[in-house]
Amino acid sequence: MTRILHRSIGPTLPHAASAQGVYITDTAGRRYLDASGGAAVTSVGHAHPEVLAAMRAQIDNLCYAHTSFFTTDAAEALAEKLVNLAPEGLNYVYLVSGGSEAVEAALKMARQYFVEIGAPQRRHIIARRQSYHGNTIGALATGGNAMRRKQFQPILPETHHVSPCYAYREKGPDESPEAYAIRLADELEAKILELGPEEVMAFVAEPVVGATLGAVASVADYFKRVRAICDKYGVLLILDEVMCGMGRTGTVFACEQDDVTPDIVTIAKGLGGGYQPIGAVMLSGKIYDSFANGSGLFQHGHTYIGHPVAAATANKVVEIIARPETLANVNAMGARLQSGLEAVLGASPYVGDIRGRGLFRGIELVADRDTKTPFDPSRKIHAKIKRQAMARGLISYPMGGTIDGIHGDHILLAPPYIIEADDVDLIIERIADAINAAIAE
C-alpha cells in the first residue's frame, strides 16, 4: 500500500533504486534505458562523478541561506556562467526552483516592468495553441494545452492564443515555409491590434514545442518576424526554454538557432540535470534597470530560490553541457537518432512525421499516413506505447491530444547528452517495437 498520491492512481510503479549514465535500475534489478531523460530533465546523465563531487563540496560548506539575508558564491557563479553563455542582452538571472515557477516569475516580471515604466494598462498575455508552459495557475493559463486546462478553466486568468508554428498539419500544401511564417506573424500582429497594442504585455512561446506537440521547431524566419512585431508594438518576447533549452537542441540556448534574443527566457529541467530542483529566469538590462531605477525590488520570491546546493549543482551541469564535446555529441547522436528513426519507421503507415533538433525528437502517429487522420483517442495509443516501451526496458514520453488536446498521439525522445551510438540504436529498435506492439493491441 502506498501513502503517495501518485499522478495516476491504481497502477503499481516499479521502484527506482539506482542509476548510472543513461540507465535507471529498479529494485527488481531490471534496467531501463532513459530515452526521454525523465521529462527532458536528465541532461548529463545519471551519477555523473563531477556533478556529485560539486554537490558534496557545497553540502560540506553551506546547505541553505535565505536570499533576503544573503547571496552565495554558488548562486553568483551560476548567474555569471549563464549570462556568459546566453545570447547578448540577457544580462541578469533570477533563480527559482523549477519550470512552472520560472514561467510564473517571468509573467510577474513582465507585468512589473510595465508598471515601473508607467504603462500599467498593459496586461494581456498572448501565447500559442498547443503550447505548454507549466502547471501553476498563471503558467497553465498561458499555455494552450486544452486537455490540461479544461477542468481548471473557471479559475484561470484570461489569456489569448494564436496558432502554433506546426508545419506538419497547418502549413498549406502549396505554401512555402517563408509564406507560412509570414501568415503566422500576421496572425500575431492582428491579435495585438485586436486587443489594443497599448494593452498587450507579452508574447510567450517555446522555440521548440515540447510535450504538447512533440519536438516541433519553427520554420524559416518565424521567430525573427515575431521579434520584429513585438518590437513594433512594445510587447515583451518571453521564450520558454524549460524543456528545449540548456543544450537539448544542440546549442546551449534553443533560440540561438533562430537567431533571436528574447526579453526574458525561462530555463529549468536540463539546467539541474535531475540532480536538484532548479530553474531560472534570464532578463534583459532594460527590465532590470526599470526595477533598479524604480521601486528597487522585484516583488516576488519563494523560500528556496537561489538554493546554494542547487546552484552549485547547476553550475557544474552547465559547465559540462557547454563543453564542445558535449554539444557535438548532442548534434551527432541527434542526427543518428533522426536518421535511424526514419530508416526504421519512415515507411510505416502509422508514422506521419519524425522531427526535432539535437537530442529532442518527436514521432507523430497517425491511423492513415496519406490523410494524416489520427487514431481514435479512445484507443489511447500513447498510453499503450508507454507501457510497451517500459516492458522492453525503454523509458519514453508519449502524449495524447497532439492536435487539439483530444486527438493525435506523439512520442517525445530526449535522452541524456552523453550517450553512445549503441544506445541510440537500441532506442530506435525498442521504440519501433513498442509502436508496432501498441498498434496491434
Question: C-alpha distances in angstroms, 360 versus 178, 214, 338?
Answer: 24, 9, 10
Integer Rg of the chain from CA: 21
- Categorize the per-residue pLDDT at 11 as very low, low, confident or very high, splitting at 50, 70 and 90: confident
Locus of grid cell 557535438:
328
Query: Residue 172's pLDDT is what?
Result: 97
Mean pLDDT for the stretch of residues 261-285: 98
- Categorize the per-residue pLDDT at 394 as very low, low, confident or very high, splitting at 50, 70 and 90: very high
Return the ∠ at Cα 80 (arms to 299 and 135), rounded to 5°.
45
- Categorize the per-residue pLDDT at 78 as very low, low, confident or very high, splitting at 50, 70 and 90: very high
Residue 8: is its pLDDT beyond 90? no
Instruction: Give the model confidence (pLDDT) of 213-271 as tens digits.
Output: 999 999 999 999 999 999 999 999 999 999 999 999 999 999 999 999 999 999 999 99
Return the ∠ at Cα 147 (arms to 141 and 148), rounded to 5°.
45
Q: Which residues contact 198 (CB under 8 A, 6 or more apart)?
A: 119, 121, 122, 234
Cα 29 off chain centre by: 31
Query: Residue 376's pLDDT is what?
Result: 97
| Bridging pattern class, strands 236-240 and 208-209 | unpaired
d(CA 14, CA 28) in angstroms, rounded, equals: 8
Residue 439: is its pLDDT beyond 90? yes
Residue 146: is its pLDDT beyond 90? no
* pLDDT-above-90 percentage for the chain: 97
Query: Residue 23's pLDDT is what?
Result: 98
pTM (two decimals)? 0.97
Evaluate whether 165 touches 219 at the Cβ level (below 8 Å).
yes
Evaluate whether 383 touches 398 at the Cβ level (below 8 Å).
yes
Question: C-alpha distances in angstroms, 151 versus 143, 154, 156, 294?
Answer: 14, 8, 10, 39
Residue type, 231: D
Evaluate whether 169 touches 424 at the Cβ level (below 8 Å).
no
Evaluate whether 62 touches 101 at the Cβ level (below 8 Å).
no
Question: Three cell numbers at 342?
Answer: 526514419
d(CA 289, CA 309) in angstroms, rounded, equals: 29
Instruction: Give the model confidence (pLDDT) of 217-232 as tens digits.
Output: 999 999 999 999 999 9
Sheet-wide strand order for 23-26 = 16-20, 23-26, 31-34, 394-395
Closest CA to 131 of 235, 214, 252: 214
d(CA 204, CA 409) in angstroms, rounded, equals: 24
Evaluate whether 113 touches 264 at the Cβ level (below 8 Å).
no
Residue type, 39: A
Closest CA to 393 of 21, 24, 12, 6: 24
- Categorize the per-residue pLDDT at 375 as very low, low, confident or very high, splitting at 50, 70 and 90: very high
Helix (H) / strand (E) containing 340: helix 324-345
Cα 103 off chain centre by: 11
d(CA 408, CA 381) in angstroms, rounded, equals: 9
